[in-house]
Every structure is written in C-alpha cells, then in structure tokens.
Amino acid sequence: MRFAVDSLNRNPRSLLTMRVSAAATRELLDLRSEVLRWARVAVPGDEAEAAMHVAARDQQGRAEGVVSFMPHSYPERPREPAIYFLGMAVRQDRQRRRTGSSLPAYVLQRGREHGAHVVWADARESALPFYLQLGGTPIGSAYRDTVTGLVDRRVIFELRR
Ligand SMILES: CC(C)(COP(=O)(O)OP(=O)(O)OC[C@H]1O[C@@H](n2cnc3c(N)ncnc32)[C@H](O)[C@@H]1OP(=O)(O)O)[C@@H](O)C(=O)NCCC(=O)NCCS
C-alpha cells in the first residue's frame, strides 16, 4: 500500500474543511515537540517508505495540526490491510476548532481509498473523547507507552462494516 502525494485532497466527498497537504519535516517535528512534548527527532515508523506526514493548514498555509500515517497491520488481525497513525498534534491556540478532526478524517478517507479494513492508533488517554466522537472504539485497558511515557489506550476505526 503506497500513498501518492499527488492524490492529496482529490476526494470531493472529503469531510475536510481544512486544507490538508504534505507536511515538511520541520513543521512535523516542531508541532510534535511543542504540542505533544516528545519527538524532537524522528520516531520509529517515520522512516517507513510509505509513511505520509500531513498538515492541516490555515488560509496562509501555516500548519495548524499534523499527523503521520502508514500501512501497518493491526496486531489482532495481522492478515488484514490496516493503517496506523501517530503524532496527532494541533497547535495549542488552534484547538477545539475542528482542525484536529480534519486529520483523522483525512486518514480514514485515505484508508478507504486504499482498501484498508482498519485504522488504528495508540492514543493518549486524555485524548480518548476526541477519538470517540470521530467513531473510534477503545480496545483493551490503559497502558504506559514505553516511547512517550504517557498512559495510552489503543483505538481502532473499522472501515469494513
Ligand atoms: C486532541 C487534539 C488532537 C484535538 O484536536 P482539536 O482540533 O482540538 O479537536 P476538535 O476541535 O476537532 O474537537 C472535536 C471534538 O472532539 C472532542 N474533544 C477534542 N478535544 C477534547 C478534549 N481535550 N477533551 C475532551 N473532548 C475533546 C470534543 O467533543 C470536540 O468537540 P467540541 O469542541 O464541539 O466539544 C488536540 O487537542 C491536541 O493536539 N491535543 C494535545 C495533543 C494530543 O492529545 N494529541 C493526541 C495524541 S493521541
């Protein structure tokens, strides 16, 4: 499964109201470290050949939020095509304006286009309500992430119903 940059924003049925386009490495790392307080450098998965890093932008083209995603099988269903996303961050002064929602919506849209059955993430528990309102399902109990040190919950989005 590969994601072509030139097909970004092509789907007219997209839920997006924000412009989403490829994110530069500096935008990505700055927002991750400013908002998430981790990942001043690339994290495992960033280097994957098919990884996509995207930003939701304001009218001036400034990145307000970023997320990264890549084909990566969901451990419970290893034979099914799946997409994993990480590093979801919205600039603090731009939160609660639906910028964040536009990013998983974008990932789900791309997942559908590529025939993924499931989209999943390891979400910090404090962000769980955000993922639930997008249709995500929490799986299992909370655990401490060894990379970030945060308490996380796994969240999945079923694309095949
Ligand atoms: C979580 C985050 C990505 C959400 O982005 P956002 O642009 O603020 O979210 P949206 O405006 O799209 O929120 C849509 C809805 O999600 C829910 N929601 C969003 N943030 C929430 C929060 N902190 N607590 C509870 N519900 C929340 C609300 O229902 C909200 O609707 P409302 O504003 O009408 O009540 C953003 O707040 C952020 O970057 N937080 C810090 C880093 C983080 O937690 N990242 C996620 C890592 S897994």
Q: How many domains does the chain have?
A: 1
pTM for this predicted structure: 0.89
Q: Residue 24 is part of which domain span?
A: 7-117
Probe ligand 1: pick from 130, 134, 155, 156, max atoms within 8 Å of CB? 130
pLDDT at 41 over 80: no
- On whether residue 130 sits in a domain, the answer given is no
- On whether residue 37 sits in a domain, the answer given is yes
pLDDT at 2 over 70: no
- On whether residue 122 sits in a domain, the answer given is no
pLDDT given at position 1: 59
3-class SS of residue 91:
coil
pLDDT given at position 152: 94
Cβ atoms of 137 and 156 within 8 Å: the answer is yes
- Band (pLDDT 50/70/90 cuts) for residue 15 is very low
- On whether residue 66 sits in a domain, the answer given is yes
pLDDT at 125 over 90: yes
Ligand 1 center to 133 CA (angstroms): 9
Ligand 1 center to 100 CA (angstroms): 6
Query: Over the Cα atoms of the chain, what is R_g?
Result: 15
- On whether residue 133 sits in a domain, the answer given is no
- On whether residue 154 sits in a domain, the answer given is no
- On whether residue 126 sits in a domain, the answer given is no
The protein residue whose alpha carbon is closest to atom 33 in ligand 1 is: 96
CATH code, domain with 70: 3.40.630.30
> Percent of the chain beyond pLDDT 70?
87
Rounded to whole angstroms, the Cα distance separating 104 from 102 reads: 6
Ligand 1 center to 80 CA (angstroms): 29
Which residues are CB-contacts of 67 (< 8 A; sequence separation ≥ 6)? 53, 54, 85, 86, 87, 88, 89, 103, 104, 106, 107
Ligand 1 center to 79 CA (angstroms): 32
Exposure string of 58-95, with b = 16+ CB inside 10 Å and e = fewer, is eeeeebbbbbbbbbbbbeeeeeebbbbbbbbbbbeebe
Q: What is the pLDDT of residues 60-102, one digit of tens each?
A: 899 999 999 999 999 999 999 999 999 999 999 999 999 999 9
Q: Which residue has the tokens 């034979």?
A: 79
- Band (pLDDT 50/70/90 cuts) for residue 160 is confident
Residues in contact with ligand 1 (CB, 6 Å cut-off): 35-36, 88-90, 95-101, 123-124, 126-127, 129-130, 133
- On whether residue 158 sits in a domain, the answer given is no
Probe ligand 1: pick from 36, 95, 107, max atoms within 8 Å of CB? 95
